[in-house]
Amino acid sequence: MTYLTLTDTAANGAATQALLETHLKTLRLPSFLQNHVQVAEEASKAGLGFDRYLLALAEQEVAQRDRNQQHRCIQSARFPMLKELADFDFSALQSLNKARVLALTQGDYIAKAETVILLGPPGIGKSHVASALGLHACRQKLRVRFYTAAGLVNDLLAAQEKLQVPRLIQAALRQHLIVIDELGFIPFTTQGAQLFFQFCAAVYDRVALIITTNLPFTQWTQLFQDETLTAALLDRLTHHCTILEFLGESYRFKQRMKRQPKSKGGDSPDEAP
């Protein structure tokens, strides 16, 4: 059997092109469509056979699909800022083990649905590292969702009014990684604390979590205002958990001090968390 049973239209170059483009659109191969003429010219100049020509086109299509998928993952993660680990100055933070952070980019904790807690004072790079790890996961085409703790509780409260908390939790369970930033900045109401607990209890062990907090575990009771609930939450979150401690001064504060002449030193009143 021969596959090259070309129809009469194929005798005409323009018609062949038109037919090819129609088929490539039907097959949803946009990279093939965009590149086949140029790649054909290059293959012909280089004296490459049909198989190499086809391989080059297929590789471009696969690479483009990968990029599109990564882009979709990044968009749907809703990062408030795109931060890279490459831009993180590890030398500014003695307490943080660079190798440990880099090991997390491999994503084993995501495959095992484990928790990573980034603990330390404001301005020290917790959100930066948490977002950068989320970005790494997106580049591995994993589904990520970034929340602030306050934003998550607001979403949960709004969902509760519409009796849609189970739906919100179902959507969360479809993620590979959930980042909860700034836990501890705003104390929860009783209802907020309970919903937050319900959310964490549902996703824990099924979805990887990254949590950033300025509050040491001993102070979490103040945040949730319920000892039993706090103990139950900590029990779950710290079960399979990597804790990264960020110790030191605010990075922004240090940068500002570096820029200011020594004579003008002293505490900066506008330092924000």
Q: Is 36 in the site for ligand ADP (CB under 6 A)?
A: no
CB 179 within 8 A of CB 109: no
**Smallest gap from residue 249 Cβ to ligand ADP (A):** 10
Stretch that binds ligand ADP, among 14-22, 99-107, 125-133, 161-169 (CB under 6 A): 125-133
Site for ligand ADP in 216-245 (CB under 6 A): none
Residue nearest Mg ion (C-beta atom): 127
| Mask for 124-163, x = binds Mg ion (CB under 5 A) | ---x------------------------------------
Alpha carbons within 13 angstroms on the beta-carbon side of residue 34 total: 8
Site for ligand ADP in 143-202 (CB under 6 A): none
Q: Helices in the chain by DSSP H: which ranges? A: 13-26, 30-46, 50-77, 98-104, 108-111, 126-139, 149-161, 165-173, 190-203, 220-224, 227-237, 251-259
Of 166 and 216, which CB lies nearer to ligand ADP in the complex structure?
A: 216
Among positions 89, 245, 249, 271, the unique one binding ligand ADP when judged by CB under 6 A: 89
CB-count exposure of residue 266 (10 Å: 0-12, 13-18, 19+): exposed
188 binds, among ligand ADP, Mg ion, none (CB under 5 to 8 A by kind): none
Residue nearest ligand ADP (C-beta atom): 125
Stretch that binds ligand ADP, among 10-18, 50-58, 119-127, 151-159 (CB under 6 A): 119-127
Structure tokens at 40: 């054909």
Nearby residues of 1 by Cβ (< 8 Å), 6 or more positions away: none
CB 154 within 8 A of CB 193: no
Residue 117: DSSP 8-state: E
Q: Where do contacts with ligand ADP occur on this chain (CB under 6 A)?
A: 83, 87-89, 92-93, 122-128, 212, 251-252, 273
